[in-house]
Chain A
Amino acid sequence: MGSSILSIIYLIGSVTFILGLKMLSKPDTARKGNMVAAAGMSLAILGTIFLYRVNDAPLHNYGWIFTGLAIGGIIGVLSAKKVKMTAMPEMVSMFNGMGGACAALISIVEFDHLIKLIKNLYAPVADDHLALQLLESSTSRGTVIIILLSLIIGAVSCAGSIVAWGKLTGKVKDFSFNGQHFLNLGVLTLIVGLSVWLVCIFDTSPGTALTVFYIIFGLALFYGVLFVMPIGGADMPVVISLLNSFTGVAAACGGFLYSNPVMLTGGILVGSAGTILTILMCKAMNRSLKNVLIGSFGGGAAGAAAAGKDQGNYKEISLNDAAVVLAYASKVIIVPGYGLAVAQAQHACHELEKQLEEKGVEVKYAIHPVAGRMPGHMNVLLAEADVPYEKLLEMEDANAEFPTTDAVLILGANDVVNPAAKSDPASPIYGMPILEVENAKVVIVNKRSMKPGYAGIENDLFFQPKTSMLFGDAKKVLQELLSAIKEV
């Protein structure tokens, strides 16, 4: 009875995941979709706790389980509630890493369990016939493959996500060296080789197998670090999305392990949807996935060569002059970037927009699909500041409007307005669609310094005659601009 109910619960859970994802992909239903999936998840978790049977026996250790759920729940809610909207990408990355770690830990316990079983069968008391039967049964070999897959993918995803988190918070710098690709390939080959060997020997020498298993675990963690380390910060969203789908696959391996359909559907759905999402993001940046993963952006020769180019002169503009330019323009387009996000300047930005509108200036925002650290990052931030939806222009629409724009105000965006993406085939970001701000009459760039953006390359835009620089923290500059404009 219980297990039939559980099957139905799992069925409902699977359906809610599908519906949830479907609803999440439409703006009107997205929030409800998230709730639907969350409800399905809660149902599946509760069902598992109370109705799951192992050899007809209910689960035990309830104390541990509920304590774990409570601790995890509290940490999860607190960190999710407390995190600033600007730090969202790294939060998602962190959560993803935890899911990966969870999958890897499950594999460790299950493998340990399996090895114990085999060791017991080798003990003199064991019935030889029974032992042989178990060892020859294909199931256990298949099980080991699944456990290994879950371990490796989970560990790579966990370590990779933590590095990605470190990069986004600025704790970890891009790091690559010559021959890194060979090292990566070598480690990966070693992992695969050891895994194959492990699958062959685990039944005859369980002791060695356990050691090898932990070595593989270590190598997989190491590979996760190597995998993400050389990839530039500009590509982090793609990497996080990819690691997200990895964790999905790791969860699905768990589904295989326990013949658990809800884990399987949930995991695989995320795996495939995540892969598609990754490809969509790559398309938004006009880069292929291969390019992102192998052609490690920013690091290496290309970045250095571009940075070494002659820089020319840039000119600065004073706050008051900038205020005058903006106040007397008839159309202003604001291009927000990561600088706006780190400075938490979205509200100040909205204030400025309102002030300009009062002066009769038409103000719009041009949103590059990958501005900030994640696709849609800017939309989320500006929505938080109550910027009306109609004011946000997508890239194509914005590009059509720049020629009739009097002034463009760039707030901490760099690579997404770099003309080198169109004109310089040697540039690492060549081919990425950009916001063609140079078509506007005047461009005012707010940056903290002349330091290159995340791709690590210089931006010719800053040296063009129509561009003037307004240095400083985006929030401070916007507030000062606001009071200056009030006085104009």
Chain B
Amino acid sequence: MEYILTFLRQHIDLIYIVILSVFLGIEVISRVPSVLHTPLMSGANAIHGVVIIGAIIVMGKAETDNYPALIIGFLAVILGTINVVGGFVVTDRMLEMFKGKKK
């Protein structure tokens, strides 16, 4: 039990970020027209691709002869990049169409 408390105390600034972000996320999204649900989901999908940063760190600190870590990390970097790049490009394509019809 104690380790949980200690862990919380050590990471209290991160926990503040978490809680504030939760409310921010709710606040930012509410009252979205249903037209934008799909692009918004797709955009959010691209943003959680930020996990790629973790993959880069894993890769970057792996010992050069630690092949399992390198291979798994390499795979993680590829998958994460597809998530980020693909996500943003797909969202842009969807939104591009909305723009066309406006004027």
Question: Hey, which bits of chain A sit against chain B, CB under 8 A?
Answer: 13, 17-18, 20-22, 24-27, 30-31, 33-35, 37-38, 41, 44-45, 48-49, 52, 54, 58-62, 64-65, 67-69, 71-73, 75-77, 79-81, 83, 85, 88-89, 91-92, 95-96, 98-99, 101-103, 105-106, 108-110, 112-113, 138-139, 141-142, 145, 237, 240-241, 244-245, 247-248, 250-252, 254-277, 280-281, 284, 369, 374-377, 379-380, 383-384, 386-389, 394
- B44's partner among A257, A270, A384 (CB-CB below 8 A) is A270
Minimum distance in angstroms from B57 CB to a CB of chain A: 6
Residues of A within 8 A of B29 (CB): 21, 25, 272-273, 276-277, 280
* Given A61-B59, A369-B34, A41 and B50 contact (CB-CB distance below 8 Å): yes
Interchain nearest-CB distance for B62 vs A (Å): 6
- Which residue of B has the minimal Cβ distance to A257? B54
> Which residues of B sit under 8 angstroms from A96, Cβ to Cβ?
45, 48, 83
Which listed residue (A27, A48, A72, A103) contacts B33, Cβ 8 A?
A27
Q: Is the CB of A68 within 8 A of B22?
A: no
Q: List B residues 46-98 near A (Cβ within 8 Å).
A: 46-62, 64, 68-70, 72-98
Residues of chain A within 8 A (CB-CB) of B2 are 138
Q: Give A267 to B54 CA distance when docked, in angstroms.
A: 12
* Of the residues A27, A54, A79, A241, contact of B35 by C-beta under 8 Å: A27
* A62→B60 CA distance, assembly (Å): 7
Which one of B36, B44, B69 has the highest number of Cβ atoms from chain A below 10 Å of its Cβ?
Answer: B44
Contact status B43-A77, CB under 8 Å: no
Contact A276 B74, beta carbon cutoff 8 Å: no
Contact partners of A37 in chain B: CB under 8 A? 43, 46-47, 88
Decide: B77 and A264 in contact? CB cutoff 8 A.
Answer: no
Q: Report whether B18 and A268 are in contact in the complex, using a CB–CB cutoff of 8 Å.
A: yes
Name the residue in A49, A52, A60, A76 with the highest tally of chain B Cβ atoms < 10 Å from its Cβ. A76
Q: Given A18-B24, A383-B101, is A49 in contact with B40 using a C-beta cutoff of 8 Å?
A: no
B14 to chain A, nearest CB (A): 6
Q: Closest chain A residue to B84 by CB distance?
A: A41
Contact A31 B98 (CB under 8 A): yes
CB <8 Å contact, B60 and A54: yes
Given contacts A27-B35, A80-B89, A109-B73, contact A273 B28 (CB under 8 A): yes
Given contacts A99-B45, A266-B50, contact A112 B76 (CB under 8 A): no
Least Cβ–Cβ distance between B87 and chain A, in angstroms? 5
